[in-house]
Structure 1
Amino acid sequence: MGITGKLSAQIQIKCGGDVFHQLYKHKPHEVSKICSNLVQGCDLHQGSWGEIGAVICWNYMIDGEQRVAKEIIEAIDEEKRSITFKVIEGDLMEFYKSFKVILHVETSGNTDLVTWTLEYEKMNEDIEEPFTSLQLLVKTVKDVDSHHYSVKYYIVRQQEMGLNGKLSAQIEYKSGGDVFHEVFRYMPHEISNMSPEIIQGCGLHQGDLGTAGSVLIWNYTHDGKKKVAKEIVDSIDEEKRSVRFKMIEGDLLELYKTFYATFHVETHGDIDLVTWTLEYEKLKEDVEDPLTLLGLCIKLTGDIESHHLKP
């Protein structure tokens, strides 16, 4: 796969979007008080809080190791409630040529959503996608949300428990976007030959391959365990080269009320990009967001790419 990528996670919050936006814009140093097990400090090195050009240094913990990141606030969009942080020094720069962290808060009806997006260029293809960094940001959202959550707020919005989420990953794909689209649409039964460690089988249970309404059963390995997924092809967009799968039976529905997986292929000049998006509703709040499953999708994409790049 290529060296550029994009990961994002969208999480439903209960404390109010403005609260979250203002915290990260004007008082990010308070995040360490709220999430002390994840973030140990945030210091202003240059400029003023909440202004473009301000330089902030974060001390945080990942995988039991202390890390440091120095960031500059590159952009602020008040209307969209978004902030773009560009990493300029620290541990991440040992692995990435460039690394940006974008925070976006939006409100849809009575629902507030926080989206974290990581845009990066790796030093080389062997470097892993920054899932641990995304996971850290997801955890901070939940800690901040819980910190500002009140009994009064619960009474007003007790039906909105932060169960909905969306994760996505965009990666370069070298063996042709059309190839990838055709494999998943018309030849999913061949994927077990391309990625046997992940996919052990895919059978057509109903309908015709490549058509909306067809039902597939996947046998796969996730987190070292054998799993089964039965899904229906919910929709196909030929122009966008996208296919959306809806989970209707299997292990995932023990944790999620609904679960959709969508892949989308696009081409920019000579570069093909594959985007995976997972949309879900948890059965309860303490269910983990499926970040490892998103990682599985990326690894599967890499295996399919390598299979078609072989001489």
Structure 2
Amino acid sequence: MSSLIGKEEIDIELNAPADKFFDMICNTPNQVSDASADNIQKCDAVNGDFGNNGVVLHWNYFHDGEPRVAKEAMEDIDRKNYSLSFRVFEGDLMKEFKSFILKLQSIPKSNQGEAGSIARWTFEYEKLHEGVAFPNSLLDFAKQVSKDVDSHLIQGV
């Protein structure tokens, strides 16, 4: 019997500084569509303000060849450690998952001023039933969006 509860993680090497990457994802997620237009069409704050705990974000994105939507609450913002969580509560993922939480930590490569950072995405979830397979393409999606944001930030630095 397989477990309904799972966790997947991916580390993505970035050239941008950890604080810049975190800042875009946390404080200006509406600009992610500028950086990764093939994947993210739009992000709006539905309830609250970008960069604040509890803000509800509505995403329009393109995944696995299909247009998709998600509503999620931004939680557990830790500006010192460049980490935050998104709790998905509505949209396409909720057709197969009882719960889905995306966690991001943007980790500086070095305290000695070494360029770059690592984006660590962690997906914690509970499937609705055992027939649901984890969509590994979500890890690739997070990697591609992160790389696009990284390129966007490096061009703007």
TMscore range, shorter length: over 0.9
Letter in 1 for 2:87: K
Q: Summarize the alignment of residues 125-136 of structure 1 with structure 2, pairs less than 5 Å apart.
A: 125-136=130-141
Give CA-to-partner distance per residue, 1:38-79, whole Å, 9 cap, x none.
001001100111000100000111111000000001211112
Deviations 1:81-139 (A, max 9, x none): 10100001001111000000011011132241111110000011111113122211110
CA distance in 1, matches of 2:23, 2:75: 17
Match of 2:142 in 1: 137
Are residues 1:6 and 2:7 paired?
yes
Q: Does 1:112 align with 2:104?
A: no
SS at match of 2:80: coil
Paired residues, what number? 152
Task: Give the number of the structure whose alpha-carbon radius of gyration is greater.
Answer: 1
Deviation of the 1:150 alpha carbon:
4.3
Flag structure 2 segments of 5+ consecutive residues without an equivalent.
none
Partner of 2:151: 146
Question: 1:26-41 maps to which residues of 2 (within 5 A)?
Answer: 26-41=27-42
Q: Which residue of 2 aligns with 1:266?
A: none
1:92 to 1:19, Cα distance in 2 relative to 1, 3 A: same
Q: Give the letter for the 2:67 counterpart.
A: Q
- Displacement of 1:140: 0.5
The letter of the residue matching 1:38 is: N
- Aligned equivalent of 1:85: 86
Q: What is the identity, as a one-letter code, of the residue corresponding to 2:79? A: E
Partners of 1:36 and 1:92 lie apart in 2 by: 20
Runs of 4+ in 1 over 6 A off after TM superposition: none
Contact kept, 8 Å, 2:21 with 2:153, in 1: the verdict is no
Amino acid at match of 2:142: L
Report percent identity of matched pairs: 37
Tell me whether 1:16 sits opposite 2:21 in the alignment: no
More contact order relative to length (CA 8 Å, sep ≥ 6): 2
**3-state SS, counterpart of residue 68 of structure 1:** strand
TM-score, with length taken from structure 1 = 0.47
3-state SS, counterpart of residue 98 of structure 1: strand
Aligned to 1:149, what secondary structure does the other structure show?
A: helix
Where 1:144 maps in the other structure, the secondary structure is helix
Q: 1:12 Cα deviation (Å)?
A: 1.1
Report the equivalent of 2:59: 58
- What residue in structure 2 maps to residue 196 of structure 1? none
Cα distance between partner residues in 2 of 1:70 and 1:27: 16
1:76 paired residue number: 77
